[in-house]
């Protein structure tokens, strides 16, 4: 059940992310990927939260968030992508993020958005 307190209302822009190329780095760099993936998550969450975003849930290698405007969503994505590109990843190589944005009237059903 999601706590809906503090969620934006009206037309919301939803942000969905997923890490690109998920399996190969884990196969080759199992131990290094734990630290790299933790850094990936930290960068992503920071960029999203700095744009007044409410994270709905994490989804394995990504997240699902709700933003009050499309411009905030674009700013969050750009900030995350720029920081991910500038990160010195080491042995694992760069971790890339796929994103999708969708704006619509929010519909709350069965404790989910």
Classify strands 11-19 and 97-105 as parallel, antiparallel or unpaired.
antiparallel
Is the confidence at residue 3, as pLDDT, over 60?
A: no
Is the confidence at residue 7, as pLDDT, over 70?
A: no
Can you give the pLDDT at residue 101? 94
Classify strands 11-19 and 63-67 as parallel, antiparallel or unpaired.
antiparallel
Residue 89 DSSP symbol: -
Residue 50 DSSP symbol: T
pLDDT in tens, 73-100: 999 999 999 999 999 998 888 888 899 9
What is the spatial distance between Cα 78 and Cα 48, in angstroms, rounded to a whole number?
10
| Averaged pLDDT of the chain | 83
Domain ranges of the chain: 23-105
72 alpha carbon, distance to own chain's centre: 13
pTM of the model: 0.80
pLDDT in tens, 9-29: 778 899 999 887 666 677 788
DSSP element (H, E) containing 44: helix 30-49
């Amino acid at each position: 059940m999601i706590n809906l307190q503090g969620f934006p209302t009206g037309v919301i822009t939803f942000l969905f992310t997923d890490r690109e190329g998920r399996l190969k780095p884990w196969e080759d760099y199992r131990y290094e990927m734990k630290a790299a993936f933790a850094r990936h998550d930290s960068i992503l969450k920071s960029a999203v939260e700095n744009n007044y975003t409410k994270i709905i849930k994490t989804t394995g290698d990504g997240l699902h968030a709700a933003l009050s405007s499309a411009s905030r969503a674009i700013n969050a994505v750009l900030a995350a992508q720029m920081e991910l590109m500038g990160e010195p990843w080491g042995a694992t190589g760069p971790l890339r993020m796929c994103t999708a944005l969708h704006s619509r009237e929010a519909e709350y059903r069965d404790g989910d958005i």
